[in-house]
Structure formats: C-alpha cells, structure tokens
Structure 1
Amino acid sequence: MFRSARYVSVFPLVSLLVGAEAFAQDVGRVDMRGSIIETACAIDMSSRDQAIEMATMPVSQIIRDGYGVDRSFTVRLVNCVLPRLGSGLAAQRQFQTTFDGRADGSFFGVDGNARGVALMIADSRGNVAAPGAPLPLEELVSGDKVLNYSMRLMGNKQVLRSGDYYSTIRFKMEYY
C-alpha cells in the first residue's frame, strides 16, 4: 500500500512538468561569459579601450627635432585591495605594466601611408616602454591609482614619407 501511494504522488508532478512544457511558446537563451581571477585591482572601463588622436605635423619637424608632440593618456586602476597578511592569498604589493604591439626597433611600429616614424611610450617617471618588455615595478596602494603615460611620434632612421598612420598597442597589468 505504501508503495502505490508513492507512485500516485509522483504522477501529478510528472504530468504537471510535461504539461507546462507543452504550453511554452518562445524559447530564448542567454550566453554569459566571465572570469574570476586573483588580481589586486580592476582597470577602469574608460581606460580599457582608448583612441588617442595624434597631432598633424609637417615632415620638416620630424627631420629637425627627430620627434613629434607628446600626447598624454592615462590608465586608471580602481578598487585596489591589498590582501591581509595570513589570508592565504599571495601578497600582491607591486605591479608592472607591459605595452605590446608591432615592434619597430625599440619603439612601436605604425601602419598606413606614412613612413620613417614609430611611436614611443613613456611613463611619468621617464621610463620608455619597449614592445613586450615590462616597465619597472611600481608600488601598489589600496583604493584607486592613476597611471600617466605619454606617446609621441619618433623618427625611426628610415626615409620619411608623409601620410596617415595608425597603430594598435595593447597593455597588461601584472601583480606581484
């Protein structure tokens, strides 16, 4: 008797589930992606993808000075949290920034019609970034931190030719 009562109580549940699916009309899907990483800071969304407009300059200025006008840009780190000692997490107290892109000697190469120029990136302490090589370690602090950089067009000792140019340079932060 106990066994038959058990079968009877399950049947309405099964029929209810089958019946509900028969009335469904629109079916959709939500795809989500994400990651959880051990990092001390987040990069502010406005710093992730930046477009830096370089000044228009005459070829004669590159010939005379060897470089163009500086253009400043920043990377803003937000919500930096230093792990408490003894928390079992790695004590991330320093970080390094690495810029990467097509190399042109020790500078970043450009594409387009212009020739004889490359891009140089330097941090606020005067350290020049080489493609794929990390800048010196910096101290990490709790809260937010603004990293200041400058970019300038440099002569690369090739024959100069006027024209438009562009480049894509990526950056990454590593915590230690």
Structure 2
Amino acid sequence: MIRSGVLLLLSLLLVLYLFGVQACAADLLANKQQEGRVQLVGSIVDTGCAMRMGNEGQTVTFQPASLDGLVRGEASFQRPLNIYLSDCGITYTGSNALSSRALKLTFEGEVDGNNFSLQGAVKGIALRIKDARGKLIAPGMLLDDSSGVADTMVLNYVLELVGTGSALQAGNYHATIKLSIQHF
C-alpha cells in the first residue's frame, strides 16, 4: 500500500511538473513574441564584378585647350570613359542555361544643373557624361541595364566639358565622380 501511494504521489508530481513546464514555456513564448524580434539568415551566393578603367589611377585627363575651343564645341573637350567589368560570376540554372542578370549604375557627384560641377580656379564650365548612344546622364540618375550581363563587359561613356552659361574663366579644375554598380 505504501508502495502504490508513493507511485501515485510520484505520478501526480510528474504530471504537475510537466504541465507546469509547459505553462512556463507558453508564458516565455508569449513574452518573446511581444518583444518584436526578427532574425534573418542569408548568404552571399555570388561575387561582384571586378572593375577597371583605362588606367590604374582611374583618372581621365583632358588636355589643355582654349576657352574659344570650348565655345566652338571642339572635340578636344571630349574624352572616352571605358569601364571594364570582368569576373561577374555567371551562374547556370539547372538546365545548364545562363541565368539572366542585370546591372544598375549610378554616377554621383556635385551637381551643376544636369551636369557635374568642377572644382578649382576654372569658372563657367561643367562636366557632362553621355552613354554610347549619346544620351545625357545626369548626376544621381539610375541607369538600368537589364539586357543581360556577360562575364566580361565594357561600358562605354563620353565625358565632355560644357559651358554652364556663366562667365568663363580659365584655370585648373578637377572633379570626383563616384560610380555605384549593383550587379544581380
């Protein structure tokens, strides 16, 4: 009789313990849900493209020219800007076909209307960027190239010095333009 009483008591304690743990766990879960935490897990599945320009310093140099030439629109105030992208990490789908890729580009810098402003002693001159088709690229403009990305590409642009409409003053100048590329 003592043995069955002890077994009954142990069984009762075990049942109470299990229900108590579940109740505590439910309270803890309820409290956790009220905290508003979100956990995200992900991974990088591809590498970005390697980028280079025509020279190691990633600079474009304009030759000295006269202000009269600028007014006449001489070609000496234009320079090509070729951006080489390689190792873009082409991926293949299950059927061994290339997956479609896209690029989004943005040129950013100090603004002078639809052009990029120049710093230095020069006055009345700005820098204009055009794509290979001659389309003007304004600072901050999002360029979407969803035609597909090859493993190696060349993006061709033209840099051009243009008058701003202000009085022209000769002098040295420079500009820094940031290129952002999103590859996906």
- Normalising by the residue count of structure 2, what TM-score does the alignment of the two structures yield? 0.64
What is the SS of the residue equivalent to 1:161? coil
CA offset at residue 69 of structure 1? Answer: 2.3
What is the SS of the residue equivalent to 1:173? strand
Instruction: Give the total of aligned pairs.
Output: 138
CA offset at residue 175 of structure 1? Answer: 2.6
**Aligned-partner residue type, residue 64 of structure 1:** R
**Preserved contact between residue 118 and residue 175 of structure 2 (Cα < 8 Å):** yes
Corresponding residue for residue 32 of structure 2 = none
Corresponding residue for residue 127 of structure 1 = 135
Corresponding residue for residue 60 of structure 2 = 52
How far apart are the structure 1 equivalents of 2:45 and 2:106? 18
**Aligned-partner residue type, residue 155 of structure 1:** G
Written as runs of structure 1 = structure 2, the 5 A alignment for 1:79-118 is 79-85=87-93, 93-118=101-126
Query: Using a 3 Å threshold, how does the CA distance of structure 1 residues 99 and 48 change in structure 2: closer, same or farther?
Result: farther
Q: CA RMSD in A?
A: 2.8
Consecutive unaligned residues in structure 2, runs of 5 or more: 1-43
The structure that is helix-richer by fraction is 2
How far apart are the structure 1 equivalents of 2:51 and 2:123? 34
Between stretches 138-147 and 99-108, larger displacement belongs to 138-147
What is the SS of the residue equivalent to 2:152? strand
How far apart are the structure 1 equivalents of 2:102 and 2:133? 16
Q: Could you give the per-residue CA deviations for residues 71-95 of structure 1, whole angstroms, max 9, x where no partner exists?
A: 1121111012333336xxxx65111
Between stretches 38-47 and 132-141, larger displacement belongs to 38-47
Query: Using a 3 Å threshold, how does the CA distance of structure 1 residues 141 and 96 change in structure 2: closer, same or farther?
Result: same
**Aligned-partner residue type, residue 135 of structure 2:** N
CA offset at residue 161 of structure 1? Answer: 0.7
Query: Using a 3 Å threshold, how does the CA distance of structure 1 residues 46 and 155 change in structure 2: closer, same or farther?
Result: closer
CA offset at residue 38 of structure 1? Answer: 4.6
How far apart are the structure 1 equivalents of 2:150 and 2:55? 18
Corresponding residue for residue 69 of structure 2 = 61
**Preserved contact between residue 66 and residue 155 of structure 1 (Cα < 8 Å):** no
Between stretches 44-53 and 95-104, larger displacement belongs to 44-53
Written as runs of structure 1 = structure 2, the 5 A alignment for 1:1-176 is 38-39=46-47, 41-44=49-52, 49-65=57-73, 69-85=77-93, 93-176=101-184
Q: Could you give the per-residue CA deviations for residues 46-98 of structure 1, whole angstroms, max 9, x where no partner exists?
A: 77851111121111122333985211121111012333336xxxx65111221
Consecutive unaligned residues in structure 1, runs of 5 or more: 1-35
CA offset at residue 128 of structure 1? Answer: 1.8
How far apart are the structure 2 equivalents of 1:160 and 1:67? 18
- Normalising by the residue count of structure 1, what TM-score does the alignment of the two structures yield? 0.67
What is the SS of the residue equivalent to 1:57? coil
**Aligned-partner residue type, residue 69 of structure 2:** Q
CA offset at residue 39 of structure 1? Answer: 4.8
